[in-house]
Amino acid sequence: MNFFITSVFGVSAVLISLCGADASVGICQATGSLDVASSLQCDHALERDFLNEIEPMLGSEHRTFVEKRLASIKQAMLPIFTAIPKNDYGSLSHSAAKYILSRTFVQRHAWSLKGLAKATGSWDNAGQYIEHPIVSILKGKVPEKVFKLLSSRTRHGFTLNELVVFAGTVEYLVHKESILRLDAAYRSLSLGRKDILSADEVEDAMDSYMTLYILGKQVSDLSKVSPSHVRTLRGNITNFYPGFPETQTFVREVQQSVVPEREQFFFPEVANLVEEIGDRYGLWQDNECRTMKEDLLELEDKSVAGAGKVLLTDFYDAAANRGKWQFREHIDFLRAFGALDESDPQRPRVIIPNYVHAPSNCVASSSYYHVCCVNECDELMGQLEAKLAKPEASPSEIIKSIEAMPSSTVSHNRTLPAYLLRHLQETADVHGGLIPIHGRLFGQWMHFAYPRECSYPQTSTKLKPMTEVEWIRLHRRETSMNTTEMWAYLNASLQNSSADIEEPETPSSLLWTMDEELVVNRPPRTVWQLLATAVRHLMSAGVIASVCVIIYCVGAEIRDAMRRSAAIQSKYDL
Instruction: Please check whether residue 38 is in contact with residue 137, taking contact to mean a CB–CB distance below 8 angstroms.
Output: no
Query: What Å distances lie between residue 286 and 111, 237, 338, CA to CA?
Result: 11, 20, 21
Q: What pLDDT does residue 43 have? A: 66
**480 three-state secondary structure:** strand
Residue 336 to residues 308, 340, 462, 470, 564, Cα–Cα distance (Å): 19, 8, 8, 12, 72
The mean predicted confidence, pLDDT, of the chain is 83
The answer to which of 33-47, 125-139, 430-444, 458-472 has the lowest mean pLDDT is: 33-47
Percent share of the chain, pLDDT over 70 = 80
- Residue 564 pLDDT more than 70? no
Instruction: Evaluate whether 517 touches 430 at the Cβ level (below 8 Å).
Output: no
Residue 473 CB burial class (10 angstroms; 0-12, 13-18, ≥19): exposed
Q: How many residues does the chain have?
A: 574
- Separation between Cα atoms, residue 430 and residue 549, nearest integer Å: 39
Do the Cβ atoms of 356 and 286 come closer than 8 Å?
A: no
Q: Is 329 helix (H, G, I), strand (E, B) or coil?
A: strand
Contact partners, residue 79, CB within 8 Å, separation at least 6? 382, 385, 386, 389
Nearest Cα residue to 310 out of 343, 347, 279: 347
The predicted structure's pLDDT at residue 31: 43
What residues does 518 pair with on adjacent strands? 439
> In the prediction, which pLDDT does 28 show?
54
The backbone torsions φ and ψ at residue 436, rounded to the nearest 5 degrees and listed phi first, read -70, 125
What single DSSP character describes residue 293?
H
CB 276 within 8 A of CB 290: no
DSSP codes of every residue in 220-284: S-TTT--HHHHHHHHHTHHHH-TTHHHHHHHHHHHHHHHSTT-SEE-HHHHHHHHHHHHHHHHHH
- Interatomic CA distance for residues 378 and 191, integer angstroms: 43
**What pLDDT, on a 0 to 100 scale, did the predictor assign at position 499?**
57
pLDDT tens, position by position, 428-485 = 999 999 999 999 999 999 999 999 999 999 988 777 767 777 888 888 888 999 999 9
- 305/448 Cα distance (integer angstroms): 10
Per-residue pLDDT band for 49 (boundaries 50, 70, 90) equals: confident
N-to-C CA span, the chain: 23
Q: What is the pLDDT of residue 15?
A: 38
Q: Which residue(s) pair with 92 in the sheet? A: 158
Q: pLDDT tens digits for 510-546?
A: 899 999 999 987 555 455 544 554 554 455 444 444 4
pLDDT band at 39 (very low <50, low <70, confident <90, very high): low
Largest CA distance in the chain: 110
Average pLDDT over residues 265-292: 94
Q: Across the strands, what pairs with 278?
A: none
What is the C-alpha to C-alpha distance for residues 211 and 203, in angstroms, rounded to an integer?
12
Q: For residue 13, what pLDDT band results from cuts at 50, 70 and 90?
A: very low
Q: What is the dihedral of CA 13, 14, 19, 20, to 10 degrees?
A: 70
Using alpha carbons, select from 523, 460, 466, 496 the residue that is nearest to residue 93. 523
CA 80 to CA 85: how far, in whole Å?
10
Task: Give the pLDDT confidence of 174-204 residue by residue, as tens digits.
Answer: 999 999 999 999 999 999 999 999 999 999 9
Q: For the segment 84-103, what is each residue's pLDDT rounded down to a tens digit?
A: 999 888 899 988 999 999 99
Least confident stretch, 322-336, 506-520, 530-544, 559-573? 559-573
Radius of gyration in angstroms for the set of CA atoms belonging to the chain, rounded to a whole number: 29
Calculate mean pLDDT across residues 282-297.
95
So what's the pLDDT on residue 505?
A: 86
Work out the pLDDT band at 136, boundaries 50, 70, 90: confident
178 versus 127: the higher-pLDDT residue is 178
Amino acid at 321: N
Q: What is the per-residue pLDDT for 266? A: 96
DSSP secondary structure code for residue 196 in this structure: P
Using CA of residue 286, residue 291, residue 296, residue 297, what is the dihedral sign? positive
**Phi, psi (5° rounding) for residue 367?**
-75, -10
